[in-house]
Amino acid sequence: MRAGLDIGGTKIDAVAVDSDGTVTGSLRLPTGFGEEEVVAGAAAAVEGLRRLTGASLDSIGVGIPGLVDPATGRVRHAVNLGFHDTPFGEALEALTHTPVAVENDVNAAALGAVHLMGLEGPVAYLNLGTGFAAGLVFDGALWRGARGVSGEIGHIPVDPQRDLCLCGQRGCLETVAAGSAIARLWPTSHPYPAQDLFRAAADGDPHAVAVSRRVSEGVAAAVRLLVLTVDVERVVIGGGVSHVGAPLLSAVRLVLEEWAAASTFLASLALPDRISLLPEGLPVAAVGAAMLGRPSSVVRSA
Ligand SMILES: [Zn+2]
């Protein structure tokens, strides 16, 4: 049995997965804040899974936001969790006496999406959360690149005249189409600004139409980029913004179809057919984290 933890800013989703990759138990705990609390919360989630399943755990995988060094389990810049540089894997191993693998949360989700959706071939998981990033899975294995930056397409500038990004560049995709961009461009008291934006656009609000178009173009640009650079067969769109659902998928497809109508080259790539939404409610990051130790998901790097 393997444990997988998806550690987010407010909650830890934990799953137990058997050797066939089937989820045999799951639970959710609040995350806490700061290094000690988050590690203790993760250990409590592992203990909860042990009690729930009655099984011993062979390994623990963790998907966590921030800059992760999978070789050492070290996590840096996990701002939402309240720590800046922590030997997270080591600390959790010491508490649980079980081998721990740590991975960036988007990469973990990519692995889980491929497994739970039964996808084959090269796949990109495009996470539209507060940030904007993709995880790449080739032949069932994560592709991190030479220095772990593979898939960080949110920091590709698409319009140097536009907004300053937290990374110091201007007009990054993240400033155009991430959840944080939507919250800034469409200020609302609605708990889910992206859903409110697309509903207002459907009702004909001109500003909402313009902002939702800008978001859809940003997502479409990311899909085009992923296909042109690594020729993924499928781009799975997940993250908080993906809860907009069918209206988001239709709007992105519409942009891709317009581009295809103007370019026989783009038309030949069949981009609209390559995108799909992550089905709601799949614990992809937790399941992907559990798979980190599996032999079939041996992580490759250049
Ligand atoms: Zn940036």
What are the contacts of 147-156 at 24+ separation with CB within 8 A? 148/67, 148/68, 148/69, 148/70, 148/104, 148/301, 151/106, 151/107, 151/110, 151/124, 153/222, 153/225, 153/226, 154/178, 156/225
Q: Is the pLDDT of residue 296 over 90?
A: no
Q: How much distance in Å is there from the Cα of 158 to the middle of ligand 1? A: 10
Please give the Cα distance from 122 to 81 (Å, whole number): 32
Residue 197: Cβ-neighbour burial (10 angstroms; 0-12, 13-18, 19+):
buried
In this prediction, residues 232-260 reach a mean pLDDT of 97
Average pLDDT, the chain: 94
Q: How much distance in Å is there from the Cα of 173 to the middle of ligand 1? A: 7
Q: Is the pLDDT of residue 297 over 60?
A: no
Q: Model confidence at 21, in pLDDT bands (50, 70, 90)?
A: confident
Q: How much distance in Å is there from the Cα of 1 to the middle of ligand 1? A: 39
- pLDDT, residue 301, reads 40
pLDDT > 90: percent of the chain: 88
Q: How much distance in Å is there from the Cα of 149 to the middle of ligand 1? A: 13
Q: Model confidence at 299, in pLDDT bands (50, 70, 90)?
A: very low
Q: How much distance in Å is there from the Cα of 266 to the middle of ligand 1? A: 26
Distances (CA, A) of 49 to 27, 98, 225: 7, 13, 40
- pLDDT, residue 300, reads 45
Who has greater pLDDT, 42 or 20?
A: 42
- pLDDT, residue 19, reads 86
Sequence spans of domains, the chain: 2-98, 110-277
Q: How much distance in Å is there from the Cα of 169 to the middle of ligand 1? A: 5
Please give the Cα distance from 292 to 61 (Å, whole number): 6
Q: Is the pLDDT of residue 8 over 50?
A: yes
Please state whether 21 falls in left (phi above 0), alpha (psi between -120 and 50) or beta.
left
Q: How much distance in Å is there from the Cα of 132 to the middle of ligand 1? A: 9
Q: How much distance in Å is there from the Cα of 220 to the middle of ligand 1? A: 18
In this structure, which CATH number among 3.30.420.40, 3.40.50.300, 3.40.640.10, 3.30.450.40 belongs to the domain 2-98? 3.30.420.40
- pLDDT, residue 122, reads 97
Please give the Cα distance from 138 to 99 (Å, whole number): 25
In this prediction, residues 87-103 reach a mean pLDDT of 96
- pLDDT, residue 20, reads 86
- pLDDT, residue 243, reads 96
**124: CB partners within 8 A, 6+ apart:** 110, 134, 135, 136, 137, 151, 226, 230, 232, 234, 235, 236
What are the contacts of 21-27 at 24+ separation with CB within 8 A? 21/115, 21/287, 21/291, 21/294, 23/283, 23/287, 24/53, 24/55, 25/49, 25/52, 25/53, 26/283, 26/286, 27/52
Identify the helix (H) or strand (E) that includes residue 286.
Answer: helix 284-290
Is domain 110-277 given the CATH code 3.30.420.40 in the classification? yes
- pLDDT, residue 294, reads 55
Distances (CA, A) of 115 to 60, 125, 204, 218, 287: 17, 12, 39, 27, 8
pLDDT > 70: percent of the chain: 97
In this prediction, residues 41-68 reach a mean pLDDT of 95
